[in-house]
Each structure stands twice: as C-alpha cells, then as structure tokens.
Amino acid sequence: MPVSTGHATLPQAYLAYNMIESSLGQRLHQLRDKADLSLRELAKKVGISSPFLSDIELGRRFPSKEILAKLANALNVPLEDLQQYDNRGPIADLKRLMDSDPKLGFAFRAAVEKVKSGELTADDIIARLGKAPRKK
C-alpha cells in the first residue's frame, strides 16, 4: 500500500527497502572487514588513495558512480547493495520539495529540531510514515 506524503506517494516496499541501519561508509567498512582487506589494500584494488577511502568510510566524502561500482566489484557485492546506502538522491529530493512548498519546509525544520532535542526519533518518523494516510 502506498504512503502519501502530500506531494509524493512512496510504496511500502520502498520504505521497507530503505530502512537501513548503517551509512554507506559503515557498510563499506563492514564489507572490507568481511573480505579481510586493509584500507590500503582495498584502495589499491580500486585505484583510489587510502585517505579518500578513509574519508568515504567516515562519511566525509562520497564516491562517484564509477568508484562505487569498482568498490562493489572489489568487495564481491552487487552495485545495488551499495547504492541503497547512498542517501544523496533522497536528500536532493527533500531540498527540492522544501523549496517548492514553504509549509513542507517548515514541517521538515520542525521535525529536525525535534530530532535534535530528542523529542522525535528516526523510528518515530518511520512508524508515522508506515501508517495509512489521514483522510481530509
């Protein structure tokens, strides 16, 4: 059943698929550990510098699609496995939505403040998004 956000409809499968517990960098680190590769070894296999790979794992930088594909290949996982952890697209979508609708922008800012203050958690938001839309 789709979930309406007022402007876009998100399928339940999308929400469930994207409910992940770690970042792209954390996932890469997990896979690198599982493959028993050092940071330097993986960087060399992929053709990037160790500091760049370290920055990716720490969430300071993001790889290009080409580098992400090389990382997936070196770690023996499908590219889609890594792509699901890349949140740059959804963030850009949120920015566009907030720019196009001031009321939505206010709602997002209020939600961010509540998350910062501890009044609202990611699980609270996910639970709310999973409920059927309210009738107007």
> Residue 78 is part of a domain; what is its CATH number?
1.10.260.40
Domain range enclosing 91: 2-19+87-130
Same domain for 125 and 91 = yes
Which phi and psi angles does 135 have, rounded to 5°?
-85, 140
Looking at the DSSP bridge assignments, the partners of residue 4 are 9
Residue 71 CB neighbours (<10 A): 25
Q: How many separate domains does the chain show?
A: 2
Residues 38, 39, 40, 44, CA torsion sign: positive
Same domain for 79 and 42 = yes
Distance CA 106, CA 115 (A): 14
Q: Report yes or no on 135 lying in a domain.
A: no
Q: Report yes or no on 70 lying in a domain.
A: yes
Residue 10 has pLDDT above 60, yes or no: no
Share of the chain above pLDDT 70, in %: 80
Distance CA 8, CA 38 (A): 42
Condensed to tens digits (0 to 9), the pLDDT of residues 13-45 reads 444 444 456 889 999 999 999 999 999 999 999
Distance CA 21, CA 26 (A): 9
Q: Report yes or no on 103 lying in a domain.
A: yes
Question: pTM here?
Answer: 0.61
Same domain for 111 and 62 = no
